Each structure stands twice: as C-alpha cells, then as structure tokens.
Structure 1
Amino acid sequence: MNGLMWFRHDLRLSDNPAITALSRRCNKAIFLYVIDPNWFRPVRFQCSHMGKFRQEFLYQTLRELDTQLRINRQRLVVKVGNPLEIIPNLCKKHRIDLISMTSHPGVYERHQVANLQRQTDCEVQTAESFTMFLENQIPFQQDDFPATFTKFRKYIEKNHILPCFPICAPDDYPQRITESSDSFDDQEFIFDLRPYRGGEDSANFQLNQYFWKSHRVKNYKETRNGFDGWNFSSRLSAWLANGSISVRTVAAELENYEYRHGKDESTQALYFELLWREYFQWMMNIHGSKMFQFAGIKQKRPLTSFYSQQYKSWEEGTTDYPIVNACMRQLKHTGWLSNRGRQIAASCLVNELGVDWRFGAAYFEQQLIDFDVASNFGNWQYLAGVGADPRGQRHFNLEKQAAYYDPDGMFVKKWSAESSTIR
C-alpha cells in the first residue's frame, strides 16, 4: 500500500499517531508539507496569516524535520501552492491509497480535510494528538459546552479525565516514494530568532532545560507574569503551536517532575495553563466560525468599531500608554509578547481605543511566533467580553498594571522608541 503523510501542525516524529498509523499500513510513502503562498499575503483586517518571525521559525522546523526523516531513510517533500490541488495530483501520480494526517480544531483545517475527502478517492485517515484529551473524553455539544474555564476545569477534575500518554516514534518507516521538493527559502537564516530555534530537537532541549536543568518550573507561579527575558515561563508555546512537541509530551513531563519532586502551586499553575490551552482548543472545535465573529461565541456585539488612527498608534506603539507601547514594540521587533503583555495590549485596544477586537487578533496572528488559532481568538474574545469571561469584559487599569508588573520601569525603558530604533 502507498501512503502520504500530510504534516500540518504536527512537525515531529515522536508522539505522532498519524505517522505510526501510516507506518503500520503502508510499504511506501511520501512525507509532505505544503506551504500556501496565501499565508503571506494581506487578507482581512490588513494583516497576513503569517509574518516574518513565524515564517522563519517554520522554515527552521522543516529543515530539522527533513534531517530527522533522512536518518530514517525518508525525506520531507515540501511543495508550494494550494494543498487541495497538490495532494490530489500527487495521489494520482504515485497511486496513493492512504492519506494520513493529524486532526486539528481549526475551522480552516477541518474544511481542508472535508474538501480533500471529496476531491480524492484515497482513504483519508486522521489521528488525534494536538490536544491532551481525546474527543470521546470531551462529550460536549454547542449547547452544553462549559461557558467558563472554571466549569471546564471542574468537569475535568470531577470526572478524573487524564491526558493521553505520548507514544514513541516508529521503529520502521515506509520506503521512500521519490518526489522532488519546491524551493521554499533561499538562505539558512532570514532572521535571527535566538534563543528560539525551530524543530523537535530544540523543543525537547527547552523542555529538559526548563524542568530538569534549571528547575525553573518550581518558580513558575511567582515568575509567570514577567515581561522580558527567557526563563520566567516555559517558553514552549512556539513549539507547541507548530507541533514540534506535543502537549501530551509536556503534560507527561510535568507529571514525571511532580512524581520526583512533588506537586506544588507552581507545577499546578503550569498545568492550569495547559488546561487553558485545552479549553480554547475544544471551544474552537465546538463553536467553529463563531470564534471569528464580531459578536463572538456569546453573540454579543461590543460597542467598538474601527478607527484607523487609534489602531495605527496601537500597532506602532505610539499610544498615550507607555506600558502598551513597550509591549507593542517588543512584539514588532521580536515576534513574541508575554501573556501579561498580550492581555494589557488587548485591553488597551478594546477599552481605551475602542477598536474592533478582530483587528488586534489578526495583528497578533501575523506577528506572533507562537500563534495558535484557538488560543489567540479565544483570548481576544475573552478580553473583548464576547467569549468565555464570566465577568463579561476585562478592562485593565494600565497604570496599575505598569506599577505592579514593571515597578522599576525597566521594561518600558528598554522598549522605548529611542531604544527600539536601534534594533
């Protein structure tokens, strides 16, 4: 049997059930990734789906994935174009019997699977590994999905629902089907993302550093609201977003750490963050396109609109709020922003500037190296009062936020306009 493994948000070999299933059933296979040029073109809300930082992080990840496949006498075939045109053509050319891929809660990703099933005679097989839990563990419909994170968490705890345990990479891979790749980058480095580096090896290195080398997970609760630096949080979100590491691997590592060193408030706080990610994934899976609508999952239209001058000042970091400006300049120059910084920036755009939250969500999608569709739009709806916030809306006091989380003003000073121009 000939197979095709279509990588999307699962750019790893370990804990990838889609690869395992393919390897068990197929004698020969193509391992494929498709880069859609539309990702890099401005679309709605004046932004592209992927900016320069995540693009380079993706390219680094693809290079490493190809290296790992070569060790197993395979190759990563990279094509540039529309996957719904490329994959059916490859299936005909190489007489593919089985297409294997990882399921994903995104609306776009689910439409891809449905359209592919209609456009090819191949068997299309999906496997679950983007979330901690399986779909049969989360038996909700739209009318009974927990309206708040707390209700979701309590349901998980009450029913003793545990994360799935990660699986190892296959010992044997199907024989390679020869197919050429398209050129997708012209140089080794487009941007210097350090200390970020794309790929499964880098993800596992960071996991090991955070848990076992530095033991910084023990201080997570005290440090998680930091603005700058590398060690105040796990920094695993970028690798989780493109699937260089699975959330199940992180959850298993956390459980192992607690077994060896004890459970405390910090390890529990980190698990709650994994649960927040999980909550938004299942929210996206249940509510679908409502996650992108102005009125959100609550179908409650906020009193905001689009004001070009206010939005531009927010995007460029030239508002009347120094802490917001520092956050936006950091995002512009690095592709990263702390969780606290994201909340502050979002609250400012919606509440102080009165701008439609979707413009902010789209800009974050473009800029963030760790963009995840469910987490991004779920959090923006939460801040805008159209999502899962039980209070109805989050309005941060920006002066108090700055005084509490940047008391010496070092973050604002570092990312002042004068400092940012030399970056």
Structure 2
Amino acid sequence: MNQQIGLFLFSNDLRLDDNPALALAASEVDQLICLYCLDPKQPPSSLRAPSNLSAHRQQFLFTSINDLHNSLKQLDQGLMVTTESALDIIPQLITQHNIGHIYASENAGYYEKQLWQRLAKRYPFIEFKRLASHTLFTQSDLPFELTELPTSFSKFRKLVEPLSIQSPLPPLKIMPPSPVTPIPPLPKSMAVTQAPLFEGGEQQGRLHLQGYFDSSLASHYKQTRNGLDGKDYSTKFSPWLANGSLSVRRVIDCLRQYERDIEANDSTYWIYFELLWREYYQWYAHHYGVHLFSAKGIKSSKPNTSFYPERFQKWCHGNTPYPIVNACMRQLKATGYMSNRGRQLVASCFVHELGLDWRYGAAYMEQQLVDYDVASNWGNWQYLAGVGADPRGHRRFDLAKQTQTYDPKQLFIKYWGADKNAPPLDSVDAADWPIMSP
C-alpha cells in the first residue's frame, strides 16, 4: 500500500498548540513535510515592503521559527525553512516526494490567499485543505455571510459577542515523520541595539500568557491600557498572536479561567472586547481583500493627502514639531513596539497634521512592528484615515490634549529625548524658498 505524503505550509500559525490545520494533517498522512517560506520576493501589496523588515521584527520571527523547529524535533519531525517562493519550492517537493495532500491555516492576507489559489489551480489532482487557526471563530460560526460583514465594529460585536468559542485543541504529541532532512535553525540574533522586549516562539508566548494571568494585572487592565511605556500596562499578547506562536482561543481560555477563579470585572471584559476588535479586522481583511491596501479603502473617494518625502522621513525618525509623536516613533525604532495609544496618535498626526498618504505610514509600521498583523495594521490605519470601518469618518486627535492626558509631566517624552525643539516641518516653503529658523 502506497504511503500518503503531505505538506504543511506554515505562515501565521507557528505553534503546535491549538493548530487545527496541523492536527488534521498529522491525522491524515503517513509522512509530512513541514515548510516555512522566508520569501524575499513575496509580491508586495500597495506600498508594502516585506523584504525590508526591521532587525527587531526579523529577530522575533527568526526566534519563533527556531522555537517551532525545536518543538517539531522533539516529535521526530523538523521544519524545512527556505528563502524560495512557495510557488517555486512546492512544485519541486511535489515532484520529488509525490505529495498528495497540502495543508495550511487560513490567512487573511490577500496575496497569501492568491498564492494558495494559484497552487490549488495548478495542481487539481492534489487535495488542498485550510482551516482557521488565527481567529476566535470559523467562517461557519459567524451569524452572517462574509459578504454581509457589518460595516462597523459595534454592529459586529453585538452579533458575535453571544457566540460560544470552541475550546482550544491540546498541543500535538505525535507527528508523522518527514521524508526530508530537517533544516538547521536560523541565526538567533540580529543587529539590534538592545535586548529585545519580546522573545519569539510558542514557549515564550505560553510563559508570558501564564505569567500575565498568574498576576492580578487583568483585574486592572481597563485603567492601565492607555499607558505609553512599560511592561505591565497592557497584556502584550500581540507579538505572539501576530505570527501565530500563541492561539487567540488559548488566550480566551485562560481569560475565562481567570474570571472563574479570581475575578470577572470591567477590565477582564475589556480584554475580551479588544480581542473582538482584532477578530473584526481579521474578517474585515477576508471580506475586503485587496481594498485593504487601496488609498480610498472601502470608501468611494480617497483622502486629500499626498506624499512629502521630507515630512515622511521626519515622522519616521521622530523629528516632527510634535513631541508626543516623536517620542512614540523613537520608541518604535529602538524597540520594534509602540503602545496602542501611541499608534493612534502617530497615525492621526501622519494623516491630519502632516497631510501624508496613510498607506506609507501603514507600510512603515509593517516593516517595524514585532507584532505586525496584516489585518489589524492596515484596518486600523484605514480607520484613522477615515477610509475604513469608522462610521464617524476622520478620527483626528488633539495632540496637545492627548499629551496632557497621557503624559502630563512629559516623562515619556523626556525619556525618549523628544523634549528638544524640532526643526520646522518643511525646509522649504511653497515657492521652494528655504525656511529659516527663528
């Protein structure tokens, strides 16, 4: 009897715990190739630059991949990591190993879905299967057709909040062997200026999750969530959720246990509330596809903005006339991370104060953020630019008022050296005359 040989294509599901697609693959084939493609030639979406990732984001990703590789080795498996495109390497593996089944987790990214569809169309004799692993719900769980996705988060929340969430699957303990030789792990360190804020990988993600709910931080989350700097003001689950080292259903499972055993209050509810925001953007990306990267977003017209290279560079380097924005951008460059409040402020400044095309800001965040998630990043930028799911339109923040509210003593601004006078926004005026400092 011929052995069934399968291939599992990892993407944003770098874990063994609660990985439905991987569990299905492990149950259906006799041998399984586990593959991850670090493809520098990945087709970019509008203004995206996937091959130009920050050292912080690269390090977090590489550490996550190494952790997955080591976990698979314990099950007599291994991770094949390649810099070739999936469209190039998978056909080679199909020919070499007579692969009959290909598995993956669903991905909200438009180009990731296109790649999958092209492979499935090219090989109609192979069975292609995808299952949800990045969301709380599956598409069949939703109380509406995806084509009827609510146009605002509030409407979405009211419909899905009463739904029950499936319990997470246990970590895999048995895996079919691989017909290929395991690939040595990737370099563990990158050229970063300081120790990383977050250590990548499923093991570290689970340790962080456990540590958070072993503390009392969840009971005070709503009061602290708008902090700008520090370790404990927010959950910090997002880096591991973003690349799938941590299951969002596992997070909910731990949250519910905390509410049963310790305390359920407005703060614990707010953690769930914000995970529903994340959920909304996943289905938003599935629904709108390539429009996630369009200048006009999901609206009928685009904002009256443009691209000014000098302004863009000053924003990137934290050298604008707005100290709170400068501090956030310097924090991002130094750490690969920025608070949710900070992200709203820098995006509002980018669009409304600097008059820049929002897509360049979203693309820069894609390069820099260790917790980059295609749906949350581009969906939130559309929201702030007034071309997304915000029923109120443009969401403009008063930066002086926000500074007074969230950094009244300017401790955050001073810490990041953003309290110095910045040069003028533009070095030339509308007639290209140099602007002189007073």
What interval of TM-score do these two structures reach, taking the shorter chain for normalisation? over 0.9
Q: Secondary structure at the match of 2:102?
A: strand
Deviations 1:217-258, CA, capped at 9 Å, x for gaps:
111101100010111111110100000011111111111111
Q: Do 2:323 and 2:419's aligned partners in 1 also have CA atoms closer than 8 Å?
A: no
Are the counterparts in 2 of residues 134 and 164 from structure 1 also a CA contact under 8 Å?
Answer: no
AA aligned opposite 2:233: F
| CA displacement 1:309-333 (0-9 Å, x = unmatched) | 2212111111110000001111111
Q: What's the counterpart of residue 135 of structure 1?
A: 139
Q: 1:68 corresponds to which residue?
A: 71
Q: What SS class does the counterpart of residue 148 from structure 2 fall into?
A: coil
Which residue is equivalent to 1:52? 55
For 2:45 and 2:164, locate their aligned partners in 1 and report how far apart those are by CA, in whole Å: 41
1:147 partnered with 2:147: no
Whether the aligned pair in 2 keeps the contact of 1:40 and 1:50 (CA below 8 Å) is no
- Once residues 41 and 382 of structure 1 are traced to their aligned partners in structure 2, the CA distance between those partners, rounded to angstroms, is 22
From 13, 16, 29, the equivalent of 2:16 is: 13
Secondary structure (helix, strand or coil) at the match of 1:44 reads: coil
Which residue of structure 2 lines up, in the alignment, with residue 199 of structure 1? 201
> 1:391 Cα shift?
1.1
* Residue aligned with 2:53, SS: coil
Aligned to 1:88, the other structure's residue is in SS state helix
Query: Could you tell me how far 1:77 is from its partner in structure 2?
Result: 1.1
Name the larger-Rg structure: 2
More helix by share: 1
Native 8 Å contact 1:40 1:48 kept in 2: no
Residue correspondence of structure 1 range 351-366 to structure 2 within 5 A: 351-366=352-367
Q: Bigger shift: 164-173 or 267-276?
A: 164-173
Question: 1:138 Cα deviation (Å)?
Answer: 2.0
Distance, in Å, in 2 between the alignment partners of 1:204 and 1:102 is: 20
| Residue 59 of structure 1, CA deviation | 0.6
Q: Distance in 1 between matches of 2:314 and 2:44?
A: 22
> Contact 2:147/2:287 (CA < 8 Å) preserved in 1?
no
CA–CA distance in structure 2, aligned partners of residues 396 and 354 of structure 1: 14
Q: Alpha-carbon deviation of 1:128?
A: 1.0
Cα deviation for residue 171 of structure 1 reads 2.9
Quote the residue 2:407 is aligned against: 406
8 Å CA contact retained: 2:7, 2:102: yes
The range that moved more, 169-178 or 323-332, is 169-178
Query: TM-score w.r.t. structure 2 length?
Result: 0.90
Change (3 A) 1:380 1:403: same
Could you tell me how far apart the structure 2 residues matched to 1:47 and 1:30 are? 25
Q: Equivalent residue for 2:384?
A: 383
- CA pair 288-194 structure 1, distance change in 2 beyond 3 A: same
Shift in alpha-carbon separation, 1:339–1:39, aligned structure 2, 3 A: farther
Say if 2:331 and 2:337, in contact at 8 Å, map to a contact too: yes
Q: Does 1:175 align with 2:177?
A: yes
SS of aligned partner of 1:101:
strand
Residues 50 and 367, structure 1, Cα contact 8 Å, conserved in 2: yes
How many residues matched? 415
Maintained 8 Å contact 2:59/2:189: no
Q: What is the aligned-residue RMSD (CA, Å)?
A: 2.1
Q: How does 1:4-403 map to 2 (within 5 A)?
A: 4-38=7-41, 44=47, 48=51, 50-120=53-123, 121-141=125-145, 144-157=148-161, 160-179=162-181, 181=183, 184-185=186-187, 188-191=189-192, 192-212=194-214, 214-403=215-404
Matching residue of 2:432: none
Please tell me the residue identity of whatever aligns with 2:155. Answer: K
Mapped to 2, the partners of 1:10 and 1:36 lie a distance apart of 16
Query: 2-side partners of 1:75 and 1:371: how far apart?
Result: 26
Structure 1 residue 6, shift from structure 2 partner: 1.0
Shift of residue 51, structure 1, vs aligned partner? 2.3
Contact map agreement 2:42 2:85 (CA 8 A) in 1: no
In 2, Cα distance between equivalents of 1:45 and 1:173 = 36
TM-score normalised by structure 1 residue count: 0.93
Q: Is the alpha carbon distance of 1:280 and 1:49 closer, same or farther for their aligned partners in structure 2, counting shifts above 3 Å?
A: farther
d(CA) in 2 for partners of 1:310 and 1:155?
Answer: 42
**Structure 2: distance between partners of 1:75 and 1:51:** 27
Asked if structure 2 preserves the Cα contact closer than 8 Å seen for 1:41 and 1:48, the reply is: no
Distance in structure 2 (CA, Å) of the matches to 1:345 and 1:169? 39
Which amino acid is the alignment partner of residue 120 of structure 2?
A: Q
Measured at CA, do residues 132 and 49 of structure 1 come closer, stay the same or move farther in structure 2, by a change above 3 Å? Answer: farther
Separation in structure 2 between the aligned mates of residue 130 and residue 344 of structure 1, nearest angstrom:
27
* Residues 336 and 368 in structure 2, CA contact (< 8 A), matched pair in contact too: yes
Q: CA deviation at 1:188?
A: 4.2
For residues 336 and 243 of structure 1, what CA distance do their matches in structure 2 show? 17
Structure 1 residues 310-319 or 347-356, which shifts more?
310-319
Q: Is the 8 A contact 1:40 1:51 kept in 2?
A: no
**Given residue 128 of structure 1, which amino acid in structure 2 is its aligned partner?**
A
**Residues of 2 paired with 1:112 and 1:258: CA distance?**
41
Amino acid at match of 1:388: A
In structure 2, C-alpha distance between the alignment counterparts of 1:24 and 1:414, rounded to whole Å: 53
**Gap change, CA 1:303 and 1:189, over 3 Å in 2:** closer
Question: Quick check: 1:40–1:49 contact (8 Å CA) kept in 2?
Answer: no
- Does structure 2 retain, via aligned residues, the 8 Å contact 1:346–1:380? yes
